[in-house]
Amino acid sequence: MKLAEALSIRKDMQTRISQLQQRIKNNVKVQEGDDPLENPVELMRELNDCLNQLGTLIWRINATNSATTDAAGRSLTKMMAERDALTLRVNTLRGIFDTASAGQSRYSQSEIKLVTTIDVKRLGKQLDEYAGALRQLDLEIQALNFTTDLIE
C-alpha cells in the first residue's frame, strides 16, 4: 500500500469513528420501556476495533514519514514541519498584507486619515515568494506520498 492510500484510509477511519461515536450517543439512553434502535454494545465493539486499527495505521504512517527522505535528505516528517511553518507564515503575512492594503473611506476632510506604516509592495513580494515555496514543498510531499510504500 502506498503512503497516499494509507492517508486516505486514515481520513476515512477518522470519519467512521466520529460517526460511530454519534450513533452510540444516540443509543445509550432511551425512554424507559423502549429499546435502542441499535445495540450500543455492538457499536462500542465496532468503535474499539476501528480505534485499534487506526492506532496501528497512524504508527505505520508516522514510521514511514520518519524513514522516507527526499533527494536532499530531508525526512517527510521534517518536510511536513516545514510545510506547517510555511503555512503559518503565509497565513500570518496574508492577514497583515490584507490589513495594510485595505482602502479607507473618508466622508470629509475632517475625518482622521490612516496611513500604512510598512512597505506593502515589498510585503506582497515576500508573501508571493513564501506562497510559491509552500506550493513547491506541498507538491514534493505529495509526490513522495504517491511513490512511497507504507512500512509494515
How confident is the model over 85-117, as pLDDT tens digits?
Answer: 999 999 999 999 999 988 776 666 767 778 889
Q: Per-residue pLDDT averaged across 64-74, rounded?
A: 96
Whole-number pLDDT of residue 107: 67
Task: Say what the pLDDT of residue 106 is.
Answer: 65
Mean pLDDT score, 3-13: 98
Of 51-55, 67-71, 107-111, the poorest mean pLDDT is in: 107-111
Q: What are 112's three cell numbers? A: 482622521
Sequence letter at residue 99: T
Q: Rounded CA gap, 27 and 41, in Å? A: 10
- State yes or no: pLDDT of 21 exceeds 80: yes
Q: What is the pLDDT of residue 112?
A: 79
Indicate whether this model's pTM tops 0.75: yes
d(CA 148, CA 140): 12
End-to-end CA distance of the chain: 9
Distance of alpha carbon 27 from alpha carbon 146, whole angstroms: 40
Residue 9 has pLDDT above 70, yes or no: yes
Q: What is the DSSP string of 95-145?
A: HHHHHHH-----SSTTSPPP---S-HHHHHHHHHHHHHHHHHHHHHHHHHH
What pLDDT score was predicted for residue 31?
92
Summarize pLDDT for 30-47 with one digit per residue, the tens.
999 999 999 999 999 999
